[in-house]
Amino acid sequence: MANREPRGLGKGLSALLGEAADIDRLRKPVGYVNKEIVGERKSETVSESADIVRIPADLISPNPFQPRMSFDNEALEELAASIRSLGLIQPITVRKTDDGKYQIISGERRYRACRIAGMDMIPAYIRSASKQGMLEMAIVENIQRENLDPIETALSYQRLIDECDLTQEQMALRVGKKRASITNSLRLLKLPDKVQHDLKVGLLSVGHAKVILGVEDPVLQQQLCDLVIREDLSVRQLEERLKTRSASGDKKENGDAQKLPDEYYKMLEHIGKYFGDRISLKRSASGKGSMTVKFNSDAEVRRFIEAMEKAGL
C-alpha cells in the first residue's frame, strides 16, 4: 500500500485558480427549516425517524460509554468556527432516555463544537436501538424522496451502514441503485465542510463535486470549488481547466479516479470496515495504480491483520 503525500495540480495551479475572491459572502449557514423542534410543545412526542429534528442543547447529554475521553481544544475551536459560518453540516444521532431527555449515540465532537459556537438548538436524528427494522425502512423511504440534496442522500446511506449494519450491496438492493452510484455518493462526505455546504445549498453540482474529488488535497478541493462559483464554470469547463493547467503527469487524475471496476468498490467496502473513509485508490486506464490507507493507531492495524488471519488471507 502506498503511503505518500497527495500530488498537487502542477505548475499551472496559480494560473488555474486566479486571484482569491470573497466567495464566503455567498455562503449562508445551513438551516434545517420546517422540521419539528423537540420540546416546543408538552404534548409533542417524536419517535425514531429518518428526518432531522432540532433539540434544545440542554436536553442532550454525552454518552457515558463514549470511547474518546479527550478532545483537542484547538480542533474543537476550528470546528466551532466552521459551524458559526456554515451551520452543522452533519447532524448528530441521539436516543431518547426514560427521563424525556436525549443521549448522544454519535457526534459528541460535533455537539461540543456546537456548544462552543453558541448554538442552543442542535440538529439531530433520533434513534431507538431496539427498532432497527423500522429505522431501516424510514431511512430507505427518506432516500427515495426526490427533494433530498446530495449530502442528505449521502448521509442517509452512511446511516444505513453505521446504524443498520447494511453493506453497500444490500443498500443497492433496498433503494434500487447501482452500488457504484452509492459509493460515489458516499465519497461526497470526504469533501471539506465548505464544499459539502455548497452542494447542499446548490452553489455546486454533483458533477462538479466528482471532478473535485479527483484532487486529493482538501485545500485545492476548496479552491476549485471557489473557482467554479466565482467564474460560474460548467462541469466540462472545470475539466478543461484542469486538463489545460495541470502538469502532464496529472492530466488524467480527475477522470481516472472515477473509472473503477465493480470489484474495486467491493474491496474498498471490505477494507473500509476497518479504516472508515481513510482509504483512497487510484487506477489508470492501463490498470496500474496505488492504494493509500490512513490509520489512527497500531491497535487499528492489528485488528485488520487479525481479521485477515481469521479469514485465512
Residues in the chain: 313
Residue written as grid cell 441503485: 177
Q: Which residues of 130-153 are buried (b: 16+ CB within 10 A; e: fewer)?
A: eeeeebbebbbebbeeeeeebbbb
Closest listed residue to residue 258, CA positions, set 162, 185, 307: 185
Closest listed residue to residue 38, CA positions, set 120, 105, 139: 120
Q: In the annotation, is 309 catalytic?
A: no
Question: Which residue among 108, 163, 216, 263 is the active-site one?
Answer: 108
Catalytic positions are 108
